[in-house]
Amino acid sequence: MRPLVACDLDRTLIYSPKAFWLETPDDLAPPIVVTELWNGVPISFMTRESERLLAALRQEAEFVPVTTRTIAQYRRVQLGAAPRFAVTSNGGEILVDGERDADWGDGVRARLAAETAPLAEVHALFGDLAAAAWILKTNIADDLFVYSIVDRDLMPAEWLEELRLTCEAFGWAVSVQGRKLYCVPKVLTKREAVSEVARRLGGPRVLAAGDSLLDQPMLEGADAAFRPAHGELHDAEYRAGNLEVTSLRGILAGEELLHLLRAAATT
Whether 101 and 161 share a structural domain:
no
Cα distance between residue 69 and residue 91, in whole Å: 10
Whether 11 and 97 share a structural domain:
yes
Whether 39 and 22 share a structural domain:
yes
The pLDDT of residue 128 is 76
C-alpha dihedral sign at 128, 132, 134, 135: positive
The pLDDT of residue 178 is 85
Mean of pLDDT over the chain: 96
Q: pTM for the whole thing?
A: 0.94
Model pLDDT for residues 216-242, shown as the tens digit of each residue: 999 999 999 999 999 999 999 999 999
Amino acid identity, position 76: R
Domain boundary among 138, 154, 185: 185
Cα distance between residue 195 and residue 203, in whole Å: 9
Whether 144 and 60 share a structural domain:
no
Domain boundary among 163, 185, 207: 185
* Domain harbouring 151, CATH code: 3.90.1070
The pLDDT of residue 243 is 99
Query: Once rounded to an integer, what is the mean pLDDT over residues 77-95?
Result: 97
- Edge to edge, the sheet with strand 172-177 lists 135-141, 145-150, 180-185, 172-177
Choose between 4 and 133: higher pLDDT.
Answer: 4
Contacts of residue 257, Cβ cutoff 8 Å, sequence gap at least 6: 7, 12, 13, 209, 226, 228, 246
74: number of Cβ within 10 Å: 20
The pLDDT of residue 129 is 65
Query: Once rounded to an integer, what is the mean pLDDT over residues 248-267?
Result: 98
Model pLDDT for residues 40-74, shown as the tens digit of each residue: 999 999 999 999 999 999 999 999 999 999 999 99
Residue-range definition of the domain harbouring residue 178: 117-185
The pLDDT of residue 42 is 98
Domain boundary among 185, 213, 233: 185
Model pLDDT for residues 23-38, shown as the tens digit of each residue: 989 999 999 999 999 9
Question: pLDDT above 70 covers what percent of the chain?
Answer: 99
Model pLDDT for residues 122-139, shown as the tens digit of each residue: 999 988 766 778 999 999
Q: First and final CA of the chain: distance in angstroms? A: 12
**93 membership: H or E segment, kind and range:** strand 93-96
Cα distance between residue 253 and residue 13, in whole Å: 8
The pLDDT of residue 34 is 99
Whether 197 and 96 share a structural domain:
yes
Whether 72 and 196 share a structural domain:
yes
Query: Once rounded to an integer, what is the mean pLDDT over residues 14-21?
Result: 97
- Asked whether 192 and 8 are in contact (CB, 8 A), the reply is no
The pLDDT of residue 114 is 93
Number of domains in the chain: 2
Choose between 200 and 132: higher pLDDT.
Answer: 200
* Domain harbouring 229, CATH code: 3.40.50.1000
- Within 13 Å and on the Cβ side, how many CA atoms surround 152? 7
